[in-house]
Amino acid sequence: MSKTKSINPQSFKKLWKNKEATENIEPILLDIVKEYWVKVHKPQGNVTRKDLADRVFSEYIRLKASKDWICKCVTCWDEMPYTEIQNGHFISRGNMKYRFSEINCHPQCYKCNCILSGNYQRYTMYMIDKYWMDKVQEMMDDKTTKEYKQYEYEEMIIRRHQFITEFKKN
């Protein structure tokens, strides 16, 4: 476990829009921020709710797919601890509609996700096998967008973090 640094909630200007908001942070959100902000690799003042949602969602996807804390890459089938695997996106995470979609996100190793740019041919085969061609084609053709509100990020962060906490207890 990485060292947790002491956090001053006032320094999260982007995450918590103003002083009044920082004084009324739900304790659960502040605990999540303390746990994850170090993993975001940004100065405290530049961490956003979207950054935090990304980190929590990534861990959620990897833990949900793990068996005995081990994940299998969906494109090359290498097995590794969930902490060493990444959250791969079939549709680029730049598309906000699918950025936090469980259908779009699966464990991928660093080589497939980063070096091979998602290992797209094998990822497509995996998606067709798992969700059928119609769903995959629908996702690929979908041009609609999604804009998340701040409260939606917060709800997503809390809901996914509760799953992570329960999973780690068992």
Of 35, 160, 48, nearest to 105 by C-alpha is 160
User: CA 142 to CA 33: how far, in whole Å?
Assistant: 33
Instruction: Say which residue the tokens 């119609």 belong to.
Output: 134
Give every residue of the chain whose pLDDT is below 70, as ranges.
Answer: 1-26, 38-47
8 A C-beta contact, residue 105 and residue 82: no
Residue 46 is predicted with a pLDDT of: 66
Q: How do residues 61-81 score in pLDDT, each as one tens digit? A: 999 999 999 999 999 999 999
Helix (H) or strand (E) holding 99: helix 96-99
* pTM for the whole structure: 0.82
State how far the Cα of 107 lies from the Cα of 89, in Å rounded to an integer: 9
CA 121 from chain center: how many Å? 23
